[in-house]
């Protein structure tokens, strides 16, 4: 079993006003595009990433954990 964990902080200017939903969607689409060719779940490093807002700031991360985990 494996677990993919995504953490995203929305506390900066890129998410202000009407930008919250569109900016989150943009970040998730960029991540999805970057990993769409990954086929081997044991390739942990290809699934892990820093997430950046439209201004280039690191606003989150994705980690991939192999093995047993609890909710």
Q: pTM here?
A: 0.85
What average pLDDT values come out for the chain (71 residues) when binned by 10 residues?
91 97 98 88 78 97 79 59
Sign of the alpha-carbon torsion through 49, 53, 56, 58: negative
What lies within 8 Å, CB to CB, of 29 at 6+ separation is none
CB burial of 7-45 (b: ≥16 within 10 Å; e: otherwise) equals ebeeeeebbeeeeeeebbeebeeebeeeeeeeeeeeeee
């Amino acid at each position: 079993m494996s677990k993919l964990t995504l953490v995203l902080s929305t506390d900066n200017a890129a998410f202000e006003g009407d930008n919250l939903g569109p900016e989150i969607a943009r970040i998730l689409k960029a991540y999805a595009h970057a990993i769409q060719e990954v086929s081997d779940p044991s390739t942990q490093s290809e699934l892990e990433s820093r997430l950046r807002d439209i201004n280039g700031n690191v606003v989150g991360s994705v980690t991939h954990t192999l093995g047993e985990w609890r909710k």
